Amino acid sequence: TCIHALSLCVSLFRLKDLEVAELGDSDVHVKMLAAPVNPADINMIQGTYAILSPLPAVGGNEGVGEVLEVGRRVTALKPGDWVIPAGAGLGTWRTQGVFPAELLLKVPSDMPVLCAATLSVNPCTAYRMLADFETLVPGDSVIQNAANSGVGQAVIQIAKASGIKTINVVRDRPDLPKLVERLMALGADHVITEEMLRKPEMKDIFKNIPKPRLALNCVGGKSTTEMMRHLQPGGTMVTYGGMAKQPVMVPVSAFIFRDVRLRGFWMTQWRKDHAQDQESLAGMMDALCQLIRRGQLTAPACTEVPLQDYKAALEATMKPFTSSKQILLL
């Protein structure tokens, strides 16, 4: 049996026919349904990410598939179940694959396919950052940049479900009113541009909500420095991306007089650190699936692309001001 896979050779991507591997006793044969193109996938292609697969490799770290067949020692999964990757580097941009059962997580098959396909990276990142760095209670606030990203959209929705206010920073753009409307519809309390971070009008926001104890940074550069000015004393800024490709610059006064804390977060590392802590992983996945079931967490804005049009999907992901996640339909 041949499958189609997006294979990364030394200098280019191409769609290749691969033979399906033989099913081992502890393996699972999966028919992939959908897989997104994330910025981290592009970084892996460029060779700039912290984990790189040996070449040639199949691209894609995230997605959802349906179990077709299981090896005789596999008891936790059965044909018809939906599965997502348990970690990074699975190679999801393919029509079918045979994977060790330990590399897969079962998810409910009654959720929308796009929610399942985009579950294992962005919502998990948002959930952990909101839970692990500051003890937030209803009425508290969070400030974040890149608020229109997949993580940003998940932060807005998870925070809203928990009664936490969000101040959401985006870059100015031609269709700004449309973007503001979309983020407000998700539950954003305030949507502002990076330029507004520097303006006195920011004080008006804090007449109604407290200054944030938590800032989430996916950009770097000026955006980060300006966002930090609005953190409460003793607050925490968590950096999980660097889209501006510029360093995080912090005024000395923020450290000395306001004791601001700087932390980093990488979902892949969290999974490694908690590999033996199935309770934490199961609790997070259950909480996210419950939010999806209740309609409080939806997939990010998506553009569905057939696998054969993968070049368009890769190019669209690298364009500036992208507010729609490219999803390969497999």
Tokens of 216: 């989430």
Determine whether 240 is an active site residue.
no
Q: Is the pLDDT of residue 256 over 60?
A: yes
Distance CA 87, CA 275 (A): 10
Which residue in 49, 127, 240, 310 is the catalytic one? 49
Q: Do 189 and 250 sit in the same domain of this protein?
A: yes
Percent of the chain with pLDDT over 90: 79
Q: Do 164 and 246 sit in the same domain of this protein?
A: yes
Q: What is the CATH number of the domain that holds 227?
A: 3.40.50.720
Q: What digits encode the pLDDT tens for the residues 281-297?
A: 999 999 999 999 999 99
pLDDT band at 10; cut points 50, 70, 90: very low
Q: Which residues of 273-293 are buried (b: 16+ CB within 10 A; e: fewer)?
A: eeeeeeeebeebbebbbebbe
Q: Do 182 and 129 sit in the same domain of this protein?
A: yes
Q: Any idea which residue has 């008891």 for tokens?
A: 75
Calculate the average pLDDT of the chain: 93
Domain boundary among the residues 268, 290, 319 is at 268
- Whether 2 is in a domain gets the answer no
Residue ranges making up the domain that contains 69:
24-118+301-329
Q: Do 105 and 163 sit in the same domain of this protein?
A: no
- Whether 221 is in a domain gets the answer yes
pLDDT band at 227; cut points 50, 70, 90: very high
Q: Do 81 and 108 sit in the same domain of this protein?
A: yes
Q: Do 190 and 209 sit in the same domain of this protein?
A: yes
Domain count, the chain: 2
For the chain, what percentages of helix, strand and coil (3-state, to nearest 5) are there?
30, 25, 45
Mean pLDDT is lowest, of 46-50, 186-190, 194-198, 259-263, for 46-50
Instruction: Report the pLDDT value the prediction gives residue 147, as an integer from 0 to 100.
Output: 96
- Whether 294 is in a domain gets the answer no
Distance CA 281, CA 270 (A): 10
- Whether 193 is in a domain gets the answer yes
